[in-house]
Structure 1
């Protein structure tokens, strides 16, 4: 029996139509995946199913039938019953979806009491039951925790617990694993599968990751520019996609290998026994009672034209090590750049070296100032490191950097909000390249991008490396991207090196149980669970 029917849905924000003529259905107990790149209309379609579109500017039209109720014409009281009572929603980013001022207990409890009267011990018991059902470890001990005190996987489990509060018939999950580690992704997806089976729920899964769809969905709806261009059973679509866009999505994945490292390539960056320990302070006088060993004796070397991949779960020390290598984080141990010890250098002596070692940050939305034009963003480093450079020469250097990353220099006077995520990441890369560096720390540069844009950025980074013989320290939890980018891989766990080696060998035949578990989660291999792997 059909639980959700969407017929000829169109959505406009003012004069701009973002979804047009979309139709599909979700049967009870099945998983339907809405897939497509950013801007394709997936989330708008999903939000329309519960009339959750923001503001009065959204104008959905068509017909949406949820468990026998017409959603688009339903009064507010009926909508409140549907939201949470019939369909639960797991939003994309739990850190922004959860209230930072409320505890875990209060947020899950609120989802319960909106639909049924409950208080005291009974309410607490129900909250604990829901958290346990969502796979939240030590639920009783974390009821008083706030969202910022939880890991990404734990926050997502709180969202799932709240969505399950009233035993919904349909769960809408909007990119539920975006930006999570591969092992946590696998756990969340397995949890959703278990809940669907045990509770008899249907699942509407919104994602741009076709590997997830292939493993977990029954049917697929492919969206592009607000239209449903193809839909059908997952096995049929993957075996014989009819639409060119679907074929492109299925074929697009970071592939190939980086250009080989030249024999005798010079050493660019070396860290020996690098340690970063953060003090734990407690009490009224904030006395140091211990240390968090974020990086604990890690050694790594990067040569000219080489990419060293740093992989591991969140909290393993990847980003902290990258920042320490650039002297952007206080650390102990020896760090050498182009043979020069930089660990003890004062700021004035370090500054001339900074232009030759740069960083590209994870989030292209947060890394660029919204108040600066592209020309100002890319040229800012030149203003700092070459203050005597004339305006014409600076404009030429900015234009050259933009061309190198595949952007039209005519766009230089635009602002970041006028660009897509992939274009913003290219701007961030151009900002680093304009200073002609030798060493780049690439901190999750593709994690916020669609899979097709990921492949483009990987190709760009490989081409730039081949042209300029750049040395990369590539930080990522996406092992598919690391496999396509890295010559060598260093696996970190709890601030220590678990395993390292040549990339192809380590992916194909990891020696350590922890590494095998990471590879299994990323590449769907069968392996035993690694001891100490976080849940």
Structure 2
């Protein structure tokens, strides 16, 4: 933030009085005074002050890089000792966190405040089972063992909305869906009934119904335990419905804070007004009459075996996709929605022959199901995928130019280095990036920029069909809107066919021509996007739409715990 920005913020504080001043703590559970954090001399949080009182929810909001997560991690002194330099004062339950001894910090972490991290796949140990990871959080503070410990683990998983918890205690993180992994994280954070829960984007990877369940759970725990919640999120709809107060952060500073109703009704800072006004809007261009069918699946089925015992014998199977049929035409987007574990991603992978399946799959009029790997290879360039997590999908050891150009080396081996670099530069420009960025590495980009790189990698081969797997789930609302506009523009220019997988129904509404609703691997409803959103026929679909758009509807069977 520039000096002029800082001056304007100070002027706002004076002009609007109490609205933008940190609330004076009245026996607050957490007090943050003038927090400043620098990494190797570069400030990332500057002079932030706020408090969290018992039983209330305070939301930290702002775009990526605004300092939200750094502020939250500082509250439990979880920043790396090397490189980070926090200053100011943080008081948690009467203890000064920044000067606390190791034993005192251990008591605070988990005993007084629980932490739910943003990305569960990187926070959970890939070598430990669900049971062991939740049990560890318990035994660090409570002397439980044996059957009592297992019973407590199951209780916590059920409390966090994990279905059939007793059957998945032996599962490893990679065997769970994104939503299930997040529930394990929440269960571990709640292990010792903390007074404060710090939740860093706790619902980012969850579908709308599970988001609603988790947030309702947190509300109930607040009431029952008197627990306070520090919520870090980019979803302003969650803030509006679930927070008592909000702190808006930009470039490491708190530019505005106050009661949620007041800030949303009369935001004083330009940045706050921009955040409130921004969300994916509009509709995709109409599909041309007579548009050719690009991809079709008929009665597609995908099953996974369940193995138990010392010999790992197959005792049952999970029908991840159970007889789904769909088609996608040139220039059309088919939205695939449903809860975590409904089979959305598995179906997308099966359509690309990246997951073994039964049934017929036709690409450009040709049945590709019988083709072996060699016969499929020439077709790969025309059917591509953009994965949910661009940071995990992009090699940290390769430059952007190497990442985007990797497919060209396989499918257009005749290009020389100059031609390949020119093709990569064109692809980067098409997604709104500068050609000079080709020399940089993924960690040097924001989340939105990394997603653009992933899209460029898919587009450089000029495909006809794209599977977009949650391409906006981890992005700020303003960046979501930019990516939606980009995808619609690319579709209109190149007449691309999209299978768009998402739990964010607001984004689906702005992207899709048709919507298919999946539950337990089966299609429960499909139709024109506007019709499905406005007048859903099935109870399950009505519950999805109600959770996404804050409508009143009866909950569908199976949605409640």
Q: TM-score, normalized by length of structure 1?
A: 0.94
Higher alpha-carbon deviation: 153-162 or 82-91: 153-162
Higher alpha-carbon deviation: 66-75 or 287-296: 287-296
Structure 2 residue 120 is matched with structure 1 residue 94: yes
1:274 Cα shift? 1.8
Q: Say which SS state the counterpart of residue 498 (structure 1) adopts.
A: strand
Determine the C-alpha separation between the residues in 2 that align with 1:424 and 1:476: 18
1:478 Cα shift? 1.2
**In the alignment, what sits opposite 1:327?**
353
In the alignment, which of 467, 485, 500 is matched to residue 493 of structure 2?
A: 467
**In the alignment, what sits opposite 2:53?**
27
**In the alignment, what sits opposite 2:513?**
487
**In the alignment, what sits opposite 1:303?**
329
Q: Specify whether residues 169 and 16 from structure 1 end up closer, same or farther in structure 2 by C-alpha distance, changes over 3 A only.
A: same
**In the alignment, what sits opposite 1:3?**
29
Q: Specify whether residues 30 and 385 from structure 1 end up closer, same or farther in structure 2 by C-alpha distance, changes over 3 A only.
A: same
1:505 Cα shift? 0.5
1:41 Cα shift? 1.0
Structure 2 residue 225 is matched with structure 1 residue 205: no
1:96 Cα shift? 3.2
Q: Say which SS state the counterpart of residue 71 (structure 2) adopts.
A: helix
Determine the C-alpha separation between the residues in 2 that align with 1:129 and 1:349: 50
In the alignment, which of 428, 445, 470 is matched to residue 402 of structure 1?
A: 428
Q: Say which SS state the counterpart of residue 455 (structure 2) adopts.
A: helix
Determine the C-alpha separation between the residues in 2 that align with 1:161 and 1:420: 30
In the alignment, which of 375, 396, 404 is matched to residue 370 of structure 1?
A: 396
Q: Specify whether residues 17 and 278 from structure 1 end up closer, same or farther in structure 2 by C-alpha distance, changes over 3 A only.
A: same
Structure 2 residue 552 is matched with structure 1 residue 526: yes
Q: Say which SS state the counterpart of residue 431 (structure 1) adopts.
A: helix
Determine the C-alpha separation between the residues in 2 that align with 1:376 and 1:228: 39
- Written as runs of structure 1 = structure 2, the 5 A alignment for 1:376-415 is 376-415=402-441
Q: Specify whether residues 534 and 494 from structure 1 end up closer, same or farther in structure 2 by C-alpha distance, changes over 3 A only.
A: farther
Q: Specify whether residues 386 and 140 from structure 1 end up closer, same or farther in structure 2 by C-alpha distance, changes over 3 A only.
A: closer
Higher alpha-carbon deviation: 112-121 or 460-469: 112-121
Aligned residues: 535
Determine the C-alpha separation between the residues in 2 that align with 1:164 and 1:476: 28
Q: Which segments of 5 or more consecutive residues in structure 2 lack a partner in the other structure?
A: 1-26
Q: Specify whether residues 431 and 150 from structure 1 end up closer, same or farther in structure 2 by C-alpha distance, changes over 3 A only.
A: closer
Structure 2 residue 220 is matched with structure 1 residue 194: yes
**In the alignment, what sits opposite 1:446?**
472
Q: Say which SS state the counterpart of residue 334 (structure 2) adopts.
A: strand
**In the alignment, what sits opposite 1:477?**
503
Determine the C-alpha separation between the residues in 2 that align with 1:249 and 1:203: 22
- Written as runs of structure 1 = structure 2, the 5 A alignment for 1:83-162 is 83-119=109-145, 123=149, 127=153, 130-131=156-157, 133-137=159-163, 146-148=172-174, 150-162=176-188
Q: Is the 8 A contact 2:222 2:228 kept in 1?
A: yes
Q: Specify whether residues 229 and 424 from structure 1 end up closer, same or farther in structure 2 by C-alpha distance, changes over 3 A only.
A: same
**In the alignment, what sits opposite 1:252?**
278
Higher alpha-carbon deviation: 322-331 or 455-464: 322-331
Determine the C-alpha separation between the residues in 1 that align with 2:373 and 2:559: 39
**In the alignment, what sits opposite 2:90?**
64
Q: Which segments of 5 or more consecutive residues in structure 1 lack a partner in the other structure?
A: none
RMSD: 2.3
Q: Say which SS state the counterpart of residue 186 (structure 1) adopts.
A: helix
1:355 Cα shift? 1.8
Determine the C-alpha separation between the residues in 1 that align with 2:372 and 2:164: 46
Determine the C-alpha separation between the residues in 2 that align with 1:345 and 1:504: 37
Determine the C-alpha separation between the residues in 2 that align with 1:399 and 1:126: 55
Q: Is the 8 A contact 2:280 2:484 kept in 1?
A: yes
Determine the C-alpha separation between the residues in 2 that align with 1:132 and 1:500: 31
Higher alpha-carbon deviation: 23-32 or 161-170: 161-170
Determine the C-alpha separation between the residues in 1 that align with 2:54 and 2:125: 31
**In the alignment, what sits opposite 1:294?**
320
Determine the C-alpha separation between the residues in 1 that align with 2:205 and 2:378: 35
Q: Specify whether residues 150 and 443 from structure 1 end up closer, same or farther in structure 2 by C-alpha distance, changes over 3 A only.
A: closer
Determine the C-alpha separation between the residues in 2 that align with 1:30 and 1:479: 28
Q: Say which SS state the counterpart of residue 422 (structure 1) adopts.
A: helix
1:278 Cα shift? 3.1
Q: Say which SS state the counterpart of residue 392 (structure 2) adopts.
A: coil
Q: Specify whether residues 117 and 388 from structure 1 end up closer, same or farther in structure 2 by C-alpha distance, changes over 3 A only.
A: closer
Structure 2 residue 279 is matched with structure 1 residue 235: no
1:134 Cα shift? 4.2
1:76 Cα shift? 2.3
In the alignment, which of 267, 286, 291 is matched to residue 293 of structure 2?
A: 267
Higher alpha-carbon deviation: 339-348 or 26-35: 339-348
Determine the C-alpha separation between the residues in 1 that align with 2:505 and 2:353: 26
1:229 Cα shift? 0.9
In the alignment, which of 362, 366, 373 is matched to residue 347 of structure 1?
A: 373
**In the alignment, what sits opposite 2:17?**
none
Structure 2 residue 362 is matched with structure 1 residue 336: yes
